[in-house]
Structure 1
């Protein structure tokens, strides 16, 4: 068994067939089939259950799969490390909360593109839970998520702080009366959204549980639903400044313990930090340094 065996095995398992794997690996199907048969013979186990529709993993194949995936990642990182001469270049894929992208990233991304024109920066948005999972799965080199985050495989850098606010329809001026409404509903993004979790925790501490939820896919849809009186939500106060001043929603301040939230940059502890990633890290850390004179750990 060698590294190429495991790379081929992972490709067949991921794509579900020898022919599909051969096309991705730019070879012929007979080469893939022969390599997999030699691998099975060498291990003394059957890795695939073959059928006309393709190939699926056996129990032995399932046990081997994590190692094959790890080998593929290590080979890719080794190639990138060898080619990385210290000048940021290539593709950098990072993630961000949608709110952070809207509030904070535009000037940072513009500065990054200006300073490092040889880097192709790819930004993916999602919820905190989704982004952390993608970093752990090595689909993202790093992600800006709601903190704090505690995971043995991750390192974090605190980069921003936001003040959250409770948002309601313009007619609702009293938080106490608002929360006492029997038809109160919360308007949130999908499960895994950190602000959704914080809103539910905030209400639970006040004895309000079991509320109906309305889920929307975008921040604009959430703000529109709140403005229409369909329910309440929790978002960074700075994000809704123009909306608030336009009178579309009422913004209710919260105690500091409920309002203050960190945005942190998370990365895998064992992942290669490319020159492009180091430059991005230094940029967001430098942003924080210029604001309060300190650098996140």
Structure 2
């Protein structure tokens, strides 16, 4: 059993087929098949069930795939930690909600890059549920997510406190039909849950939902009078949306949502990550401890959400 074999097992378990695993690993299918067969012979167990439309892990295969995931993640962390310790910059991959990337992160990223130009920093935008999944899979070093996080393998700390507002076109351009049309991200977005609750609170029921994949597309269509949305006030008041959109406060606790920076509880805190967290804390509201227990909190107003 070696790292190459573990990568093959994880790829087949993740994709469910030899062909897709080969594409992921950038190799030919025969290599994948041979690796799996060799591992099965070495371990004396079947790792996958061969189905007509793919490969399904056996109980033993699921166990090995889980260990492979952990081992490969540790190897990647070790490589980054050694590079970091040698003063060659290291790598960071940070996930973020689009609204946070648009408003909160630019000054943080600019300062971090100026202070640490050798760090290879990648920013991956997405909704909270996707970001949390990527964190658990080891694809992210940390992520900015909306609302509470309750998972034994994740820990988070509040860094920003967002005021959420109901957004419409300025100048009364939103018609009665559009007031019952909610524009937003998919259900995996924290603000989507708050937006639907806000529509019910305002009595705009029944309402329909139009889903978009980009922040500026949502705000542009709201500005054109197609519907309404719920966003952080900090987003609505930035250019070019200031003056093109109007907003009203949401009632009670619907209008407040913390943004958390979340990590795996077993992740290694490299010097690069420590420096990034220091840059965040200078702009945000948090002090980052070296180690931290998982958060166990309920969402604001009883809403368990994800954006």
**TM-score using structure 1 length:** 0.80
State the match for 1:267 in structure 2: 263
Counterpart of 2:45? Answer: 45
Distance 2:271 2:49 in 1: 43
SS at match of 2:151: coil
Q: State how far apart, in whole Å, the 2-side matches of 1:232 and 1:23 are.
A: 40
CA distance in 1 between partners of 2:63 and 2:145 (Å): 32
Cα deviation code 1:184-236 (max 9, x no counterpart): 11111122111111111233345555420011222222122212222111111
Report if the CA contact (8 A) 1:19-1:29 is conserved.
no
Q: Is the 8 A contact 1:7 1:68 kept in 2?
A: yes
Match of 2:139 in 1: 139
Deviation for aligned residue 1:281: 1.1
Larger radius of gyration: 1
Counterpart in the other structure of 1:212: 208
- 1:92 corresponds to which residue? 92
Q: Name stretches of at least 5 consecutive residues in structure 1 with no aligned partner.
A: none
Once the 2 structures are TM-superposed, how far is the Cα of residue 143 of structure 1 from its aligned partner?
A: 0.8
Against the structure 1 CA distance between its residues 86 and 295, is the aligned structure 2 distance closer, same or farther, given a 3 Å change threshold? farther
Residue 182 and residue 215 in structure 1: after superposition, are their counterparts in 2 closer, same or farther (change >3 A)? closer
Q: Deviations over 1:115-165 (max 9, x none)?
A: 111101100111122212211111111111112322221111211122221
Mapping for residues 52-201 of structure 1, pairs under 5 Å: 56-59=55-58, 60-85=60-85, 87=87, 89-172=89-172, 184-201=180-197
Superposition deviation, residue 44 in structure 1 = 2.4
Deviations along 1:85-143, whole A, 9 cap, x unmatched?
A: 17471221101111111111111111111111110110011112221221111111111
> Does the CA contact (< 8 Å) of 1:88 and 1:275 recur in 2?
no
| Structure 2 residue 279 is matched with structure 1 residue 280 | no
Give yes or no for contact 2:10–2:69 (8 Å, CA) kept in 1.
Answer: yes
Cα distance in 2 for partners of 1:255, 1:197 equals 14
Worse overlay, 82-91 or 263-272: 82-91
* Structure 1 pair 28–215 and aligned structure 2 pair: CA distance change class (3 A): closer
Give the aligned CA root-mean-square deviation in angstroms. Answer: 3.5
| Kept after mapping to 1: 8 A contact 2:144/2:260 | yes
Structure 1 residue 171 displacement after superposition: 4.1
Tell me which moved more, 140-149 or 207-216: 207-216
How far the C-alpha of 1:280 sits from its partner, in A, is 0.8
1:84 partner SS: helix
